[in-house]
Structure 1
Amino acid sequence: MASSSILDTRSILSDRTVNDEQPQTKLPRVSAVGRRIHGWSWQAFPVGMGTSAVYVVLYGLKDRSPIVASIETVFYFLNMALFLLNITTLLLQAIFYPRQAYRLLTDPVKGIFVPLVVLSFATIIIGTINYAVPHHVGPNVIYALFWIYVTLAVLTCFPMLMIWFNKPHDLTHFTPAYAFLIFPLMLVGVVAFNTLRVIPPEDNRALGVLLVGYFFQGLGFFMTFFYICIYIMRIMMTGFLEGHQANGAFVAAGPPGFTALALIKLGQCSMEILKHQKLVSPMAGEIWYACSVLGSLLLFGLAIFFFVFGALPWWFKVHKELKDILGCWALTFPNVGWIATLRELGRIFRIPGFSVVHTIFAIIMCIIWAVLFILTIAAFVKGDIFTSMPEDVIKDSVLTRHESEGGGAVSPV
């Protein structure tokens, strides 16, 4: 018994010696800022786009008071601040957590929000035309910004489409939000007619902007229309969208709404440009405009249908949780197109009621923005959005011995 006790004591002492000799691995501390940077995503851009939706809709009001114009300017600068915040945070993420940045780019679901950075840039261009021209920015700058936007749209959309189409997708989980991959190309027409507001019709550059606007508007609309057709097939198979996907139903109203607006405004521009530059025929501009108004009216009806089709079951299908608040921003910017078209059709056909309805929806847009902005801040403070678990941050920060010769570590933010 005594010898057995001695052996047990020696065994315990031996184990303690071995354990003392083994280095204790201490996990690095993860700061709150590091968790925020790691947890940031491209889904932050809809917040800025929803903010821009307010000043775009308010700018189209029939009677704008100086107070309303001042409110629009505040929203314009707030949109730019949010844009810079998102760009800076995602850049820091790419520097300190390249694995997470690459994961977001190649993710078949989260990656669809990458093109929204280009859409946000488009809203800044439109705001600059509304509030900075001609006192602070000249037409040459706007012309350059237009081509920069077209370049960014092409360079962003096509690679993301290659990534998305490289993997199969289940139609039973399809959502209209997948059309975000095409949205920047579809919005070229909207940026084009805003650019033509500051370029004289007799300027040779105006024709290029007009044709490029029509070209990409057609390309973008028909591609997004194919996505919408798949969306109709999906709800035929599974019923209305549920959960966070219920917000995506409003995205279907975006392509026909923005295309209807672009056709009217580009048609107006074509009347002056083709006439001054004596192209096609003396009546070409008038014919283009007439056809644009007819096509716009048809698409306007389609946009209204998709809006109502998404709005009626929305409250009963959406999950009312703060963690899903970012998806609710789809209630704002996709509806800007048909709301602005409503104002244009009222002007063309001299229907005062359309202006009244436009004003009502502008007020509703402001209320929705206020509610969503407050809830988004609440979700951010509670950590329901834009934050990662410490272990996820450490996993993407620390290099394993197989990945680095020295077995070193990347210091987390």
Structure 2
Amino acid sequence: MANFLLIGRYPTSTGPHIRFTLARRIHGWSWQAFPIGMGTGAVYLTLSGLNQRWPVFRTIETVFFFINLVLFFVNISTLTLQAILYPRQAIRLITDPTKNIFIPLFVLSIATLIIGAIKYGVSPGIIRPTVIYALFWIYVTFSLAISFPILIIWFNKPHDIRTFSPTWAFLIFPIMLVGVVAFNVLSTMDASNPRAIGVLFIGYVFQGVGFFVTMFYICIYFLRIMMTGFLDGSQANGAFVAVGPPGFTALALLNLGIRSREILTQNSLISPNAGEIWYATSVLFSLMLFGFAVFLAVFSVVPYSFKLRAHLNEILGCWALTFPNVGWIATAGALGDVLSIPGFFILQATCALVITLIWLVLSFFTLVAFRRGLIFYDREDVVAEDLEGARGSD
């Protein structure tokens, strides 16, 4: 098959040229393709949390969910072909500390799909709650199986703090998002079900691990900008990644606290007032983390206009403007419900509109960059060299 794709090295007709163009696409694909799907998921996740939802919104959300699903399978199939045809390139992407930080985004994409399946598959009766429960444990398994080995590979080499980027925290993001997946799964389960206890506690445990580890990354981020100033160039996009941990943790704590009121009480755990205490504590910490996330978002937006280096070949990094902000935007709506403050709903609706507009802009420029061969497209000599190397090893 690899030989077939290489026929067009010196094209003499349209067919061979197309075949080798496909080879260059497959070789040039990377794990950095997953943020496109996650940015797509950000749209339906923010819209689904709105306080006022018109029926047309559900249709729009469902369309975005299926777009995300298609993008996920395109990424998986292309990277699988790359591993088969160009194993040296696949290994390079896994072992390179500057590139393997995007591998955990594969797991994060699964999280957006599981939440989408809950929102658009369970209520119509397409997907059974037992399937969602199984998917939760599959996600937990993937989180551990992917994050820990990549963390070992990444920390096995020293890194210069002066080049630090919050995107390095992607390594622990799958574990941090377990709490978010957990409270969505709990929405499909009866509070008296003993299985709900395990989901609740695992959600808290993994959310705690992920949040506190990512907080160390955020501390290093502040230390770095104290030494070198705001992130500039393509790294300016990575500043938005720092918004994710406090935002998603605020969302997870608040919703897990809501579930705790029923689960702890109905299962007679800890004490008769444990559920209410956990809930009240969750609201307090959620509000504090929400404020921190909003601060980080503003702290990222302000220098963005004069620090970003706008080049189409770096468009993939711009997708960081979307999915890390989902946590605090959804938290705004949840706090509006809990605290009965309408201002939170206005903030949530405004930000949901902004996220949708950003998706439209980024999608257009990503397609332009893809069409021009500025992304996911390797040089001919690089592809040929890896193919010759694969032949030699055989």
**TM-score bracket for this pair, using the shorter chain length:** over 0.9
SS in 1 for 2:122: coil
Match of 2:51 in 1: 62
Shift of 1:163: 0.6
1:281-310 deviation per Cα after TM superposition (whole angstroms, max 9, x unaligned): 110000000000111111111101110111
- What letter is aligned with 1:326? L
1:376-387 correspondence runs (5 A): 376-387=366-377
Shift of 1:50: 0.3
Query: Are residue 204 (structure 1) and residue 194 (structure 2) matched?
Result: yes
Match of 1:133 in 2: 122
How many pairs were matched up?
379
Match of 2:157 in 1: 167
Shift of 1:400: 7.7
Q: Which of these residues, 74, 87, 90, is aligned with residue 85 of structure 1?
A: 74
SS in 2 for 1:108: coil
Match of 1:232 in 2: 222
Q: Which of these residues, 307, 313, 317, is aligned with residue 297 of structure 2?
A: 307
1:80-229 correspondence runs (5 A): 80-134=69-123, 135-229=125-219
**C-alpha distance in structure 1 between counterparts of 2:203 and 2:339, whole Å:** 25
- What letter is aligned with 1:388? D
**C-alpha distance in structure 1 between counterparts of 2:226 and 2:178, whole Å:** 32
Q: Which of these residues, 360, 363, 370, is aligned with residue 370 of structure 1?
A: 360
Match of 1:19 in 2: none
SS in 2 for 1:278: coil
Q: Which of these residues, 310, 316, 321, is aligned with residue 326 of structure 1?
A: 316
1:88 and 1:305, CA in 2 relative to 1: closer, same or farther beyond 3 A? same
Shift of 1:354: 1.0
Q: Which of these residues, 329, 332, 338, is aligned with residue 328 of structure 2?
A: 338
Q: Which of these residues, 39, 50, 72, is aligned with residue 28 of structure 2?
A: 39
SS in 2 for 1:225: helix
**C-alpha distance in structure 2 between counterparts of 1:382 and 1:400, whole Å:** 28
Shift of 1:403: 3.5
**C-alpha distance in structure 2 between counterparts of 1:400 and 1:130, whole Å:** 45
- What letter is aligned with 1:386? F
Asked if the contact 2:9–2:20 (Cα under 8 Å) also holds between the matched residues in 1, the reply is: no
Query: Are residue 279 (structure 1) and residue 269 (structure 2) matched?
Result: yes
Shift of 1:27: 10
**C-alpha distance in structure 1 between counterparts of 2:290 and 2:53, whole Å:** 24
How large is the Cα RMSD of the aligned pairs?
1.3
Shift of 1:402: 6.2
Structure 1 residue ranges, 4+ long, deviating more than 4 angstroms after superposition: 26-30
**C-alpha distance in structure 2 between counterparts of 1:133 and 1:123, whole Å:** 15
Match of 1:9 in 2: none
SS in 2 for 1:297: helix
**C-alpha distance in structure 2 between counterparts of 1:200 and 1:306, whole Å:** 37
Shift of 1:315: 1.2
TM-score scaled to structure 2, two decimals? 0.95
Match of 2:255 in 1: 265
1:156-190 deviation per Cα after TM superposition (whole angstroms, max 9, x unaligned): 00000011001000111000000000000000000
1:361 and 1:402, CA in 2 relative to 1: closer, same or farther beyond 3 A? closer
**C-alpha distance in structure 1 between counterparts of 2:386 and 2:201, whole Å:** 46
Identity among equivalent positions (%) equals 59
**C-alpha distance in structure 2 between counterparts of 1:77 and 1:320, whole Å:** 30
**C-alpha distance in structure 1 between counterparts of 2:370 and 2:391, whole Å:** 35
Higher mean alpha-carbon deviation, 77-86 vs 58-67, is at 58-67
1:28 and 1:353, CA in 2 relative to 1: closer, same or farther beyond 3 A? closer
**C-alpha distance in structure 2 between counterparts of 1:289 and 1:401, whole Å:** 61
Query: Are residue 255 (structure 1) and residue 278 (structure 2) matched?
Result: no
- What letter is aligned with 1:260? A
**C-alpha distance in structure 2 between counterparts of 1:281 and 1:99, whole Å:** 57
- What letter is aligned with 2:94? L
**C-alpha distance in structure 1 between counterparts of 2:274 and 2:152, whole Å:** 38
**C-alpha distance in structure 2 between counterparts of 1:340 and 1:253, whole Å:** 13
1:381-407 deviation per Cα after TM superposition (whole angstroms, max 9, x unaligned): 011100000000011111388644xxx
1:379 and 1:401, CA in 2 relative to 1: closer, same or farther beyond 3 A? closer
